[in-house]
Copies of this chain bind each other. A is one copy, B any other.
Amino acid sequence: MNDLFLREARGESTERRPVWMMRQAGRYLPEYREIRAETDFLTMCRTPELVAEVTLQPVRLVGVDAAILFADILLPLDAMGSELVFVKGDGPTFPEPVRKRSDIARLEHPNVDATLGYVFDAVRTTRQAIQELDEAVPLIGFAGTPWTLAAYLTEGRSSTTYPHLMTWSWQDPAGLTELLELITDVSIDYLLGQIAAGAQAVQLFDTWGGLLSEARWRAFAMPGVVRIAEALRSAHPELPLIYYGKDTAHLLGALAELPVNVLSVDWRQPLSAVRRAVGDKVLQGNLDPTALLASPDVIERQVAELLSEGSGGGHIVNLGHGILKTTPPQHARAFVDAVKRLSS
């Protein structure tokens, strides 16, 4: 068992730095596209054997040190009663978005085993499949942060500004907080279910927290993250927790206070500066995903710089955001190989 990732995440000393990539089970791999061509996205999420297959592809094909469950952050919102529909070209949509306090009544706190059991089945099937690899790696579970889930649920679709969420936050902060608390409650059940089924670490994706100023992030986004992290810690004190935020250079003061083991940041913040700001947390990241479009020798130089930036404390190597679908698979391998070679 290659447990580099788990040991680094816990702050233990390791023989080299572990490496994985956000969205590593994805469209840049022809082997993924082949499966996806025959199956719609939600059916894939609901078929444990397909989840296991695509979750393991980057382990087998690219050599990463950790697997992350193939799933979508929006699945719990569907389970809460807001139907999730994937529209060709538009991506995930909620035809009936939740935009004001009275809309919250349309949602429920579901029994997660009944509504999200397919995810837990997928975790179990994937863990089993990992044991059959020549070299097993840890399996990471995940969820979106309540703020980020609320962004999609209020808008009904992806956006860059989330005007419905913002309007609500200014006009009825108490009502929005009620929604965020309900999502937080469900997220705790959902992540405890993933852990019970075999997830060995948990990453929280706060894709849209960076839209907020620090004061507003502390008011709306932080409480849910803290409550989830504390609930998981209290049930599983040894299980590593990772917070990922995009666009968080202005939030480092608040992120330093999060009760998580690992902070994962985007490619724009030099890790040395992040380390100075957040103290003794393990860092994760943060190669610019567009750097994987460069030639392998440029990638190797970028990795050397990144390793130097990340030194002086725990560091799990990753990209600063999800791998681009236009990335040549051999460039992803060049990245992983360079990390292994240069950090040994």
Stretch at the interface among A42-50, A140-148, A164-172: A164-172
Q: How many copies does the complex hold?
A: 2
Q: A250-B268, A324-B161 are in contact. Are A293 and B171 (CB under 8 A)?
A: yes
Q: B324 to A163, Cβ gap below 8 A?
A: yes
Q: Does A196 sit at the interface, judged by CB under 8 A?
A: no
Min distance, Cβ A326 to any Cβ of chain B, angstroms: 6
Q: A269 to B250, Cβ gap below 8 A?
A: yes
Inside 8 A of A291's CB, which chain B residues have their CB?
170
Report which of B249, B290, B326 forms a contact with A250, defined as CB distance below 8 A.
B249
Report which of B163, B214, B268, B293 forms a contact with A326, defined as CB distance below 8 A.
B163
B-facing mask of A261-281, CB < 8 A → 1, else 0? 000000111100000000000
Min distance, Cβ A298 to any Cβ of chain B, angstroms: 6
Residue of B nearest to A305 (CB): B215
Contact-residue size bin, chain A (C-beta under 8 Å from the other chain): 20 to 34
Q: Does A308 sit at the interface, judged by CB under 8 A?
A: no
Min distance, Cβ A274 to any Cβ of chain B, angstroms: 10
Report which of B161, B211, B250, B290 forms a contact with A167, defined as CB distance below 8 A.
B290
Report which of B161, B249, B288 forms a contact with A290, defined as CB distance below 8 A.
B161
Inside 8 A of A288's CB, which chain B residues have their CB?
166, 213, 216
Bound complex: CA of A161 vs CA of B325, how far in Å?
12
Inside 8 A of A267's CB, which chain B residues have their CB?
213
Query: Which 4 residue pairs are nearest across A and B when measured between Cβ atoms?
Result: A166-B290, A170-B294, A249-B249, A249-B250
Which residues of A are interface residues toward B (Cβ below 8 A)? 160-161, 163, 166-167, 169-171, 210-214, 216, 247, 249-250, 267-270, 288, 290-291, 293-295, 298, 324, 326
